[in-house]
Chains A and B, each alone.
Chain A
Amino acid sequence: MIATILLFSVPLILAAMGEVVGQRAGMIDIGQEGKILIGAFVGFIVAKITGSLIVGYALAVVAGVALGCLSTWFTAKLQLDQVVVGTALNLLALGATSIAFRIYVGDSGKLLSIDKAPALFGLDPVVYLAILSPAVIWFVLMKTSWGLSVRASGEYPPAVEAAGISVIRRRFEAAMLAGGMSGLAGAALSIALSGSLGEGMSAGRGFLAIAVVTFGRWRAPWVAGAALLIGVIDAVQYRFQGQAILGFKPPLQLWQALPYLGALLILFALGRGAGAPAALGRAYNKER
């Protein structure tokens, strides 16, 4: 049960860790969903073709980094609205992966399967990456000078420029890190969790990751905790669906809504306190 919960929480934790970095740099990434989807497809198809899971995971990360660059080029360089760019990226990802899938297996689809990575002490290796990621992201953001300038880019960009560091450059770097995490999350979803591939398989995890970052108050360890809690609630949901509890059989819809209800309650409990980065969602323009 615990192994299952950990495994099925992996994509959400990884994607949320990426989103923390991006948001701390001042970018709200609606396109996270699309990046996960692209990562899922690139990872799976490449691993299938090359026969190497490592190459699959690696190229999924590369694809995520490239998409991070692409969206930052629009949002930071061209200073377009971040929500619009993200939405466009999601549509692009859904269309592109659907076409790729149909070219790969034919119009009416095919059930694809892939061998999982050999377990390491009983767990899939990606689980360890997900467990390590909050500590690494926390360290990078809070304990390095690079992290300091990233955080400043999200709080008060003029200060970063005054220190002689390019805000746009920091945002590019943060988006590449975030995109790579999303790509990895996607590959974990298709290879390690699903072991299969299909259209639209990201199923809202990217949006949930954005929500989880808010619940976790933009702090990596808290965000990871919130993501794990959602994972626990989800597992409980599937486990107890259709069972009577104290003689009462709750309706299915209640179980299915549970992860979201849980998320809402967490937000309610943690609603006050540290807020969002001050420059979140705003493009930085030196001239203004």
Chain B
Amino acid sequence: MKPLAILAGLLALSLVGCKGDSTNTTGTAGGEQPGKGGASKSIKVALLTPGPVSDSGWNAMAYEGLVAIKNEQGATVQNQEAAGEGQIKDAMRQYAQDGYNLVIGHGFEYNGVAKEIAADFPNTAFVSSSGAQSGPNFGAFRFYLEQGFYLAGMMAAGMSKTGVVAVVGLDVPSIRSTFKGFIAGAKAVRPDIKIVEKYVPLPGTDIAAYKQSTLAAIDEKADFIMHQANQGAQAVFDAAKEKGVLCFGANANQNNNPSGVVIASAVIIAKPAFLDLAKEVAEGKYKGRVQLFGMDKGAIDFVVNPAMADKVPGELMSKIQQARTEIATGKLVVPKDEF
């Protein structure tokens, strides 16, 4: 009788193990040791994400960057979910011991842990998406999504009929910071705009909660919704459609969502940043530092939905265009939190 139970347990565990899905390929020039010369040598890259990479949002974006590294540079890649300090430490050490040249942690929470671990593994580069600390072989690259959110805020406040706009998202510091950008943009156009903020608690996989919080925001008269809901985005859009209000897309270009309520998207173009990073590491040129990727580097964009562009008043559109130029040239600095 007992062996059956053990079998069932093993089955369950093996399935969970599969969750950190491996996208292994054998590198084109495999077999070399990490950290030794050769510009065209293939490297091993690992990605750690705070949530499932199938979230159509923040984590999916990093995963697509990783796949690009694999396809375009022939790197051996692997990824897994790692949340919480203990898990992150284990995963980072494991990959470093396995000879991975680059370990990317997709969130600010990986930055502090990297600082601790990097000293023990000088041949591995540890890079986190956002974070403020750096050393010889660890650092951070941060996407300045606040810039795109600022322009979305301008559009929302400039077009709102009720004078109320809302933000709905997961309750983590990086997302709060992007909402700060949205609020600053909204207040720049209309100082008396009312902002409704609704936050869903971690781990943020509760799609129904995003729908419920969006409905609550619309109940408070919000007629434009900015979201950071990742896999809950569809629920936000559907709630908006039900109540006849408009939304913005976030992270990816969501303008052609079938709901037809996305008027514009604040977009991160992450692929070039991921490819450049892997290239630096492959060439042995990586130096730990904190990089900021914004509109000036073409990493952040604000894309208006062509099908709905006629709804935006011309005067507001030119204001947004002007702000966009000022942001790209550094004349206008969008607020962001450091964490």
Residues on A lying within 8 angstroms of B by beta carbon are: 1, 4, 8, 11, 74, 78-80, 84-85, 88-89, 91-92, 94-96, 98-99, 101-102, 105-113, 189-190, 193-201, 203-204, 234-235, 238-239, 241-242, 252, 256
Contacts and interface: CB of A to CB of B under 8 A. Distances in A.
Contact of B54 (A193, A195, A199): A199
B338 to A, nearest CB: 20
Contacts of A11: 208
B231 A198 contact: yes
Nearest to A105: B54
B13 to A, nearest CB: 7
Contact of B19 (A94, A109, A204): A94
B60 A8 contact: no
Given A74-B8, A113-B258, A194-B235, A242 B63 contact: no
25 contacts: A8-B208, A11-B208, A74-B8, A85-B5, A88-B9, A91-B13, A94-B16, A95-B14, A102-B54, A107-B23, A111-B234, A111-B237, A113-B258, A195-B235, A197-B207, A198-B52, A198-B232, A199-B55, A200-B52, A200-B205, A201-B205, A201-B231, A204-B206, A238-B198, A241-B197
B216 A196 contact: no
A91 B219 contact: no
Given A99-B18, A107-B53, A238 B5 contact: no
B205 A241 contact: no
B207 A78 contact: no
B238 interface: yes
A49 to B, nearest CB: 17
Contacts of B208: 8, 11, 189, 193-194, 201, 203
Contacts of A101: 54
Contact of A4 (B21, B212, B258): B212
A112 B12 contact: no
Interface of B: 1, 4-5, 8-9, 11-19, 21, 23, 52-56, 60-61, 63-64, 67, 171, 196-199, 201, 203, 205-209, 211-213, 215-216, 219-220, 231-235, 237-238, 254, 257-259
B60 A199 contact: no
A88 B18 CA distance: 15
Contacts of B54: 98, 101-102, 105-109, 198-199
A71 B73 CA distance: 47
B123 to A, nearest CB: 29
Contact of B205 (A4, A85, A203): A203
B56 to A, nearest CB: 4
Contacts of B198: 238, 241-242
A95 B212 contact: no
A282 to B, nearest CB: 17
A107 B70 CA distance: 15
Contacts of B171: 252, 256
Nearest to A95: B15
A196 B211 CA distance: 10
Contact of B238 (A88, A106, A196): A196
A36 B38 CA distance: 52
Given A102-B21, A108-B54, A199-B52, A239 B211 contact: no
Contacts of B14: 95
A245 to B, nearest CB: 14
A194 B60 CA distance: 20
A112 to B, nearest CB: 6
Contacts of B55: 109, 198-199
A234 B211 CA distance: 13
A235 B211 CA distance: 11
A185 to B, nearest CB: 12
A61 B204 CA distance: 26
B168 to A, nearest CB: 10
A227 to B, nearest CB: 15
Nearest to A78: B1
A199 B215 contact: no
Contacts of A105: 54
Given A98-B52, A111-B56, A242 B196 contact: yes
Given A78-B4, A203-B206, A196 B212 contact: no
Nearest to A8: B212
Contacts of B13: 91
Contacts of A194: 207-208, 211, 232, 235
Nearest to B206: A203
A106 B56 CA distance: 10
Contacts of A84: 5, 9
Contacts of B18: 95, 99
A238 B241 CA distance: 19
Given A78-B1, A109-B55, A195-B234, A238 B205 contact: no
A196 B60 contact: no
B234 A238 contact: no
Contact of B215 (A4, A110, A196): A4
A239 B235 contact: no
Contacts of A88: 8-9, 12
Nearest to A112: B234
Closest 9 CB pairs of A and B: A95-B15, A109-B54, A203-B206, A198-B231, A200-B205, A108-B60, A194-B207, A111-B234, A196-B234
Q: Select the residue from A79, A84, A101, A195 with max chain B CB neighbours within 10 A.
A: A195
Q: Select the residue from A4, A111, A201 with max chain B CB neighbours within 10 A.
A: A111
Contacts of A110: 56
A33 B91 CA distance: 27
A10 B67 CA distance: 40
Contact of A200 (B17, B21, B203, B215): B203
Nearest to B11: A92
Contacts of A99: 15, 18-19
